[in-house]
A and B are shown apart, each in its own frame.
Chain A
Amino acid sequence: MPAKLTRRDFSERLAFGSFWTAVGASVVGMLKLLKPAVMPEASTRVKLGHPDELPAGTERYLAEQNVYVFSAGDGVYAISAICPHLGCIVSRLPEGRFECPCHGSRFSATGEVFAGPAPSGLPWIQVQRAPNGVLYADTSVSVPAGTRWSRG
């Protein structure tokens, strides 16, 4: 049989219960401070130039954003050089593949992972044309592999 809950037990529980609830609520409130309201970072949009300045076959590396930009016959696309494993910067080998210096993940020329610990391929980055006709890449927006801005 459960022990009878006396009036004193009850008020004791109430006292401790409200105390810890107040402590908990304050902690949750204070933790909110730690979450940045605005991410302190440079603009994620980069100007790539007018499509005519990027003839098919062009390859560019934007060192500041760590993005590779490629122009092929049918369009322009961008691949991030940040390794999806733990965030090192992959390097591009002469034959077009990518390799990560940190734990040896290897990626094909289109960013698919074929060896190493990376859980997924290199992210593709959105490329869009602004109304003034200039192409922009936005490193904060990743798109399914194969997505490109196409001429035509």
Chain B
Amino acid sequence: MSQAFKRFLGDVKRLPKIFVESVRRRGAATSDRGRSQAVFSNLFLHIHSVKTHKNSLKPSYTLGLGLLTTACLAVLTVTGILLMVYYKPTPELAYASIKDIHFVVPTGRMMRNLHRWAAHGMVIMVFLHMARVFYTASYQKPREFNWFVGVALLALTLALSFTGYLLPWDQLAYWATTIGVNIASSPRELTDAVGITQYFDPGGAIKQLLLGANTVGAEALIRFHLLHVMVLPLMLFTLIGVHFWRIRKDGGLSRPASADDVPEGEFFARDATKTYGLMAIVRGRTPAVGRSPENTVNSWPRLFVAEMAVLMAAIAILLILSLTLDAPLKEPANPAIPENPAKAPWYFLGLQELVAYSGFMGGIGVPMITLIGLMLIPYLDREQRGVGIWFSGPEGKRVALWSAIYSSVLVVGLLAFVIKFGWLREWYPDISQLVIVLVNPGSVYAVLFAAWSLWIMRRYDSTRMAAIALFTCFLVGYIILTYVGTVHRGPNWDFYWSQSHWPVH
């Protein structure tokens, strides 16, 4: 037998092993060096740096919330693609195709349920993740821009869920979308009030852009479908790429200054200059330059194992939900009879509550103020106070607690008053719409929250405390309004203590 033939036979036998080696480009990760290579020689793993700070691995720090958001998104992407196999975006076929998916398509119901629960989950997780980042002051320099990107991700997440809501083309979908799109066109309330709609009509332009028509119909369904399966996901994935890349470029996750303290008596090499030659061209603090010894561990396998555990937990919970609770499907859309009550998805019901006083202020004004305010937080609070510490310390905890109480009393009080006694139009039927747009529960809340925050800023001489006050007020207000809109509003948007008191019809 020739040498070459022998070698050939041997290689055939070892083929699987050779192939795996060619993929991994290295042996098993048995040494620190191997573990480092495991991460940076793999396109997918090198999303993480080779070393991870111990603080970032503490479950009580991130609560795994960003990752849980990502997990929901992964489930949404996979199940969404599967749903697209059968879904047909035309008014004649949409409803029937969802019904098919639910009752006929093998595993269709499971995929639909998973898609629905992951969507709810993603919204909850993205809110909680934002709250975690906020309360640990992780938006502070150098992470201002990543917070900014985060706010855009929040808006995109909500937009995805709103566009998805129309697709089943049932009564709820049709009427919630009609209301939503009319909210988008509510700048008309203002332009009408000053009489310039004829010349300048941003509300009408947005509506036409979204609907491609004057009412929700075939054109609107195509546009929403396109937004939901293409445009918004592409934007979301792109921005998430930026988000993750920035986490690393900003020096990993935030952490308290004390997390880099040297434990007494431990020995470390004092200089880390050696390994970071290439990074000299990167400006700012790189993971280790000038701060050795670092309290870090190898990302492989610690971080990856932790992440897999979170992902598996997320999928397990979503599976249990999907096995026990079916995604709802109402009667087919009927443009002649509004669903009563026509409720948007729950996370918009707080806004729907405000919309019930002024479409413009509740639907555009307050959300815009909130989004812009959120984006500005890191640029206006530059104190670097208590970064990486929950509530920035005990004082912040106190401010958050008092703000929560202040906001609860204010929101519940004014809401109870309005439910009992009505609002301006009930007392002065001829009142100008301009006054109602300016003075309504939504704007009253916003002004009183801002006033409270300014007062806190003076009292504690700290912008961080003012930010905690403002954020807490909005968060608590949002939760209470959402709760009232979800549980206590029934037909005609009247107040009911519980759904069992709704009139039957």
- Give the interface of A toward B (CB within 8 A): 34-36, 39-41, 63-64, 66, 85-89, 99-104, 112-117, 119-120
Contact = CB atoms under 8 A, between A and B. Distances in A.
A36 B209 CA distance: 8
Interface stretch (B151-159, B283-291, B351-359, B461-469): B351-359
B356 A88 contact: no
A114 B358 CA distance: 14
A29 B357 CA distance: 38
Interface residues of B, number: 41
A36 B212 contact: yes
Nearest to A64: B336
Contact of B219 (A40, A89, A119): A40
Contacts of A120: 192, 433
A86 B336 contact: no
B209 A102 contact: no
Contacts of B70: none
A114 B183 contact: no
Q: Which has the most chain B C-beta neighbours within 10 Å: A39, A113, A119, A120?
A: A119
Nearest to A116: B425
A40 B491 contact: no
B217 interface: yes
Contacts of A117: 355-359, 425, 436
B425 A115 contact: yes
Interface of B: 175, 178-179, 181-183, 186, 189, 192-193, 208-209, 212-215, 217-219, 336-338, 340-342, 355-359, 422, 425-426, 429, 433, 436-437, 491-494
Contacts of A39: 213-214
A118 B451 CA distance: 29
Nearest to A44: B214
A103 B341 CA distance: 9
A101 B429 contact: no
Nearest to A102: B342
B437 to A, nearest CB: 8
A88 B338 contact: yes
A104 B494 contact: yes
Contacts of A66: 336
Contacts of B422: 115
Contacts of B338: 88-89, 101-102
Given A63-B336, A116-B425, A119-B436, A85 B359 contact: yes
A40 B355 contact: no
A37 B33 CA distance: 64
Contacts of A99: 492
Given A103-B493, A115-B425, A40 B212 contact: yes
B202 to A, nearest CB: 14
B431 to A, nearest CB: 10
Nearest to B343: A102
Contact of A36 (B219, B340, B437): B219
Nearest to B425: A115
B212 A103 contact: no
B492 A119 contact: no
B356 A41 contact: no
Given A66-B336, A87-B178, A104 B492 contact: yes
B209 A35 contact: yes
A9 B422 CA distance: 63
Nearest to A87: B182
A41 B213 contact: yes
A99 B358 CA distance: 17
B356 A104 contact: yes
A40 B213 CA distance: 6
A87 B209 CA distance: 17
Contacts of B212: 34, 36, 40
Contact of A41 (B178, B214, B355, B436): B214
What 3 pairs between A and B have smallest CB-CB spacing? A101-B340, A103-B356, A86-B182
B217 A89 contact: no
Given A34-B212, A116-B425, A117-B425, 18 more contacts: A35-B208, A35-B209, A36-B208, A36-B213, A40-B219, A86-B182, A86-B183, A86-B359, A88-B178, A99-B492, A101-B342, A102-B341, A104-B493, A114-B426, A114-B429, A115-B422, A115-B425, A119-B358
Nearest to A81: B336
A102 B425 contact: no
A80 B492 CA distance: 19
A126 B337 CA distance: 23
A35 B181 CA distance: 16
Given A34-B212, A40-B217, A102-B342, A88 B175 contact: yes
Contacts of B437: 119
A119 B190 CA distance: 9
A36 B223 CA distance: 12
Contacts of A36: 208, 212-213, 219
30 contacts: A34-B212, A35-B208, A36-B213, A39-B214, A40-B217, A40-B218, A41-B215, A41-B217, A66-B336, A86-B183, A86-B186, A86-B359, A87-B179, A87-B182, A89-B336, A101-B340, A102-B175, A102-B340, A103-B356, A104-B492, A114-B425, A114-B426, A115-B422, A117-B355, A117-B358, A117-B359, A119-B192, A119-B436, A119-B437, A120-B192
Contacts of A102: 175, 179, 338, 340-342, 492-493
